[in-house]
């Protein structure tokens, strides 16, 4: 019961973290302060995580291959709440991304808010990487990827999970860099980071408890994406906390080219303390 409560708390915490930025963008009628790279790459990342969790939950082949490679645990430590969170996250990240389309939401989007070449390269590299792994599986496996002792379909799923990991490591960088360039976090919400931080801690706790109850710590190494995601999330969330509360408290951006605000004085004073 305690494990279930922790898992539910983590899922709710992470799930809730997507809403404040969407609401703030809509209230301010502007996407200034938010890096477009983040929702763009986040959508792909959570799509990968959805595939990863769905297959470990519902694919008999993937579950059998996991059991063959981890005979002591047999059951993956992926849970239904992981899949539900991933599916929910894909939807909300896509909604946040569409807020950069004025034709849909009517929000102000600066001409400087364009996806960076680095994120575009990461996006398309992430799309084509699983295709390469699939080719390797078909070329190296003697039975088309069903034998878990060699290249198998589970390796494709692991590759997809590693794409999510890479995206998670890099997705925070554009926003942290934008905050640094602007010397401000105005227009960007700290609330998702606080909820994200709580979710990261609970994620690690759940993973440890799951493996402990199974008396098999290989459950942690068998689910490396969850372990590393939790640590990376905590690290970057702490950086954002320092930026918002210590380095740039109650400041506005005065550099128009970096976020598109014509003047900090145009911002609604009610928004000064809403992020």
Local confidence band at 265 (pLDDT 50, 70, 90 cut-offs): very low
**Per-residue pLDDT at 82 exceeds 80:** yes
Query: What's the pLDDT score for residue 197?
Result: 83
Residue-level pLDDT at 4? 59
* C-alpha closest to that of 269 among 178, 188, 186: 186
Residue 76 is predicted with a pLDDT of 82
Task: Say which residues have a Cβ less than 8 Å from residue 42's Cβ, sequence separation at least 6.
Answer: 89, 93, 96, 97, 167, 171
Give me Rg for the CA atoms of the chain: 20
Reported confidence tier of residue 225, pLDDT bands at 50, 70, 90: low
Burial of 44 (0-12, 13-18, 19+ CB in 10 A): buried
Q: What average pLDDT does range 212-223 have in this prediction? A: 64
| Residue 198: pLDDT band with limits 50, 70, 90 | confident
30 φ/ψ angles, rounded to the nearest 5 degrees: -160, 150
The reported pLDDT for the residue numbered 1 is 52
pLDDT in tens, 2-31: 555 555 666 677 788 899 999 999 999 999
pLDDT of residue 272: 35
- Beta bridge partners of residue 270, listed in sequence order: none
Q: What is the pLDDT of residue 63?
A: 92
């Amino acid at each position: 019961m305690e494990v279930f409560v922790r898992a539910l708390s983590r899922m709710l915490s992470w799930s809730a973290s997507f809403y404040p930025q969407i609401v703030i963008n809509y209230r301010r009628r502007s996407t200034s302060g938010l890096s477009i790279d983040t929702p763009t790459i986040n959508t792909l990342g959570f799509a990968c995580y959805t595939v990863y969790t769905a297959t470990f939950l519902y694919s008999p082949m993937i579950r059998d291959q996991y059991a063959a490679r981890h005979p002591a645990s047999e059951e993956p430590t992926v849970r239904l709440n992981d899949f539900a969170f991933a599916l929910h996250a894909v939807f909300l990240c896509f909604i946040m991304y569409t807020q950069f389309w004025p034709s849909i939401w009517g929000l102000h989007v600066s001409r400087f808010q364009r996806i960076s070449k680095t994120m575009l390269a990461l996006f398309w590299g992430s799309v084509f990487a699983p295709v390469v792994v699939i080719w390797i599986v078909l070329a190296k496996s003697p039975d088309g990827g069903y034998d878990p002792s060699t290249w198998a379909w589970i390796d494709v799923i692991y590759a997809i999970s590693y794409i999510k990991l890479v995206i998670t490591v890099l997705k925070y960088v554009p926003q942290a860099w934008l905050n640094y360039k602007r010397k401000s976090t105005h227009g960007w919400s700290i609330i998702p980071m606080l909820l994200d931080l709580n979710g990261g801690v609970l994620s690690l706790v759940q993973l440890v408890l799951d493996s402990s109850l199974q008396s098999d710590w290989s459950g942690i190494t068998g689910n490396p994406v969850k372990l590393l995601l939790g640590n990376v999330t905590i690290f970057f969330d702490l950086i954002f906390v320092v930026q918002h509360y210590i380095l740039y408290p109650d400041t506005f951006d005065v550099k128009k080219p970096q976020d598109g605000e014509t003047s900090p004085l145009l911002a609604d004073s009610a928004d000064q303390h809403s992020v």
